Structure 1
């Protein structure tokens, strides 16, 4: 297991107890980050409400001109699907307008040029003899709002670089897909394919020939109100929502401000956008941007760590879908940030180690936001919660425990465990099938009269969370912890376990009962003394030295 960057695998925590990361404006060049901060301050919104749409705008400017070469057979485009979650009145539109002003200005210039060329064309072809000798001008598009898939396909067919689709309310857009269709529904299929730039054909009414898009490139951005999140899901598990990255900012109190965006910041961002729009568009295929050696080495480590997150026992089942897409977003964010940097600095196109680090910081932000959004869309799975509690328990007792099922049932602290020990064993076996790092086994031993046992093991170093000794327990604390575990037969008076085993396990369970996060149980001498005394008393009872 490759853990060069972080030797620990954290035990999963309850989602509602996790602190959310702030939007990292520092992943952008300094002048771009300044624009985000100034635009947010002038609108009185969190910076992510400007930063995320600006990121999508940059991605759409790159469009089909570039892909990142992860390896020879794996290329990722710059395509981003993103959504901001917020109530009406939180200034989603004003913030987005400031981020998209460069896209809109570009579209205005293209329309102006088109009208000029159109007028000239009509003048030149007024003589019908010249009508077939001149090519009719076409309006170049960079921004699309309200359109059907058929209409968008026509736009993409004439704009190979791609476009940005901006919808004020994504919820209505998603719900309207296939509203008048039966069967699989071509609209959702189109958007599923477009996310990967996969070939897609769209049939047109009254036309014999379909529109065939070799590599449709379209990025999407819009807003969703929190109260309709559950409607957006609508029971569909086709992976469309999993393709979105989210920002769900905290509300801000809106007050008057004299803050404004400086001309220098506006011009700096405009230059970056125009440079990205000007990247060469290869007729024979998308141009790959490649890693340098150090950047590729780091990317592989981060990729593996992302995979390991999904393998940690208790990883929420509902997050498996979006996490599988975030795997691709690590590459896509790396590509976009790298090209933003090179366009800003005027340096060669190459993925450098700093690009990968910044992309991972940004990905961590989107992971937090995805947890928050999916937490509101989906109910918590009790099996996931039980798995988290089991991980904490087995980690606390040293990474492995093999005891009677009733014993484990008694000492395990969880609001999600079933009412009987045999049901717990069944649930643990099901959890183990989901989680590669959790191993569950059970059976009976012949040498103790068919005594039943249950074994739970955390593999691949999951239990090796950083050891923290903490303050030694006082005698009162140790006694309290012992009282909490009093009815669990810790001393095992049948003599089947060694004194060392019983003392260590019992001490760990005392610490577990007290919620003390530590793996250095030997420093807690008071708890050790209690367990040694309890074992010695049980031995005397077993040998008949002390009356029962």
Structure 2
């Protein structure tokens, strides 16, 4: 019986991140979001990032921003992001709670669509009957008969379309149809982003990844040709994306991004947050009804707004309605961009450089979103042709968010420096669940197909880490006289075996 030492905990040394100051949340939304985070005991970062992604999808292509004073560079505030955390950190519940206003609007929209369909079907039945009368009349006319009371060909009723806001699980072909019906854009919300990514790797779905990557900037168009469905032209490919993901599962995609499989997906998750865990305590309090009602009303106004008082209309040179920074805010953007390009990007390489390069559009997108929130919360009428340009307050808040998100990006990509620790934590979790028997071998681990533990290097690093921390012991069988040597097997600490007994 081997002698065992006390096993040591496995800790991943994460880089520090900036905390999310509640003052970085627009005033009308702040009490609602902080109340959710307090009652759920989840990081405020989770609910705030989800809310911004939701707002970006509600604005979509209905209002864009030209960040420079003279240039026609146009940015659609279409944002992707993720909440990153270990299991049981309230990722899914926090996202679901924040998206309740949009879900309510979506249900009302669906019910209205059903009523419109009923009217349409009744009109269609009348039209079909009128067509038969018209055809009978024309047959009589061709036969030389006199038509006493001629009728004209009926006007064809227009089939209604449903205003959609959210999608959860849909094929690219169906998303293309929905985008044609909803050119302002949609929000793809996933409890686990890993499910979406795994779908892209399935045989026959290889083009899905390209479609999503094209949809990130919100200004593209696409033509999809399929043998069965024919040709579909999508004029506005604008799709926001948000979901939850565990650090260990994200690490696999980060590793892929360092090689030939770097498609730029992770770098597009500009609203990705990986905060420290919130200390748990028992809370049982009523929701802040006033804060919730105010937030719901504001989100509904944004969803239904025409933005006429804060936008210049689209024309032959501008595909979408747009706005600009006011002079003071323009200077804030200019100063920020100069510093970003000359001080930050000049000192970055690799994945972080690719990630931070996309902040050029992130900052004006955030500023526009905060501007829309502030204007709709105030909703005061603007006289004449004067427009409410993006304010200096919105621009400054956007700069603070870029600084905050920059720290989270460094923590996320810093996971690549802790590959062995993350793999060891994943393997230890499976050992605690009793998924492997005492004396297992390397091939048994790889045969399980566990995320992050499919390659020989990942399994070897995980085993080495667990051995060094006294969770496992490696046993190398004696070399045989003839034949191939037997592979090493691994003994599990009795503490784990007794837990699973």
User: Which TM class, normalised by the smaller chain length?
Assistant: 0.5 to 0.7
> Would the alpha carbon gap of residues 205 and 113 (structure 1) be closer, same or farther in structure 2, given more than 3 Å must change?
farther
Pairwise CA distance, 1:108: 0.3
Per-residue Cα deviation, 1:41-78 (whole angstroms, up to 9, x for no partner): 11111111111111111111111101111132211111
Structure with bigger gyration radius? 1
Where do residues 329-368 of structure 1 align in structure 2 (5 Å cutoff)? Answer: 329-347=362-380, 349-368=388-407
Q: Secondary structure at the match of 1:367?
A: helix
Pairwise CA distance, 1:122: 2.3
Residue 103 of structure 1 is matched in structure 2 by: 102
Q: Secondary structure at the match of 1:125?
A: helix
1:168 aligns to 2:191 (yes or no): yes
In structure 2, C-alpha distance between the alignment counterparts of 1:91 and 1:248, rounded to whole Å: 13
Residue 73 of structure 2 is matched in structure 1 by: 74
Partners of 2:267 and 2:351 within 8 A in 1: no
Per-residue Cα deviation, 1:160-187 (whole angstroms, up to 9, x for no partner): 11111101111221232152248xx422
- Relative to the length of structure 1, the TM-score reads 0.62
Per-residue Cα deviation, 1:430-468 (whole angstroms, up to 9, x for no partner): xxxxxxxxxxxxxxxxxxxxxxxxxxxxxxxxxxxxxxx
Q: Which moved more, 1:128-137 or 1:153-162?
A: 128-137
Gaps of 5+ in 2: 1-11, 132-154, 308-312, 381-386, 420-501
> Would the alpha carbon gap of residues 364 and 292 (structure 1) be closer, same or farther in structure 2, given more than 3 Å must change?
same
Partners of 2:15 and 2:411 within 8 A in 1: no
In structure 2, C-alpha distance between the alignment counterparts of 1:337 and 1:365, rounded to whole Å: 16
In structure 2, C-alpha distance between the alignment counterparts of 1:316 and 1:17, rounded to whole Å: 20
> Would the alpha carbon gap of residues 16 and 361 (structure 1) be closer, same or farther in structure 2, given more than 3 Å must change?
farther
Task: Identify which of 240, 249, 257 aligns with 1:228.
Answer: 249
Partners of 2:34 and 2:44 within 8 A in 1: yes
1:301 aligns to 2:335 (yes or no): yes
Residue 214 of structure 1 is matched in structure 2 by: 235
Residue 437 of structure 2 is matched in structure 1 by: none
In structure 2, C-alpha distance between the alignment counterparts of 1:119 and 1:377, rounded to whole Å: 56
1:37 aligns to 2:59 (yes or no): no
Gaps of 5+ in 1: 1-14, 381-548
Q: Which has the higher contact order (CA 8 A, sep 6+)?
A: 2
Partners of 1:65 and 1:287 within 8 A in 2: yes
Residue 135 of structure 1 is matched in structure 2 by: 158
How many equivalent residue pairs?
362
1:370 aligns to 2:409 (yes or no): yes
- Relative to the length of structure 2, the TM-score reads 0.68
Pairwise CA distance, 1:230: 2.2
Partners of 2:85 and 2:91 within 8 A in 1: yes
Partners of 2:314 and 2:322 within 8 A in 1: no
Q: Which moved more, 1:73-82 or 1:172-181?
A: 172-181
In structure 1, C-alpha distance between the alignment counterparts of 2:338 and 2:374, rounded to whole Å: 26
Q: Secondary structure at the match of 1:211?
A: strand
Per-residue Cα deviation, 1:461-501 (whole angstroms, up to 9, x for no partner): xxxxxxxxxxxxxxxxxxxxxxxxxxxxxxxxxxxxxxxxx
Task: Identify which of 227, 233, 251 aligns with 2:277.
Answer: 251
Task: Identify which of 276, 281, 306 aligns with 2:302.
Answer: 276
Where do residues 45-60 of structure 1 align in structure 2 (5 Å cutoff)? Answer: 45-60=42-57
Partners of 2:16 and 2:411 within 8 A in 1: no
Per-residue Cα deviation, 1:175-209 (whole angstroms, up to 9, x for no partner): 32152248xx422221222111212222244233x
When the two chains are superposed, the root-mean-square deviation of aligned CA atoms in Å is 2.3
Q: Secondary structure at the match of 1:30?
A: coil
Pairwise CA distance, 1:80: 0.5
In structure 1, C-alpha distance between the alignment counterparts of 2:14 and 2:55, rounded to whole Å: 34
Pairwise CA distance, 1:33: 0.7
> Would the alpha carbon gap of residues 16 and 212 (structure 1) be closer, same or farther in structure 2, given more than 3 Å must change?
same
Per-residue Cα deviation, 1:340-361 (whole angstroms, up to 9, x for no partner): 1111122553111111110010
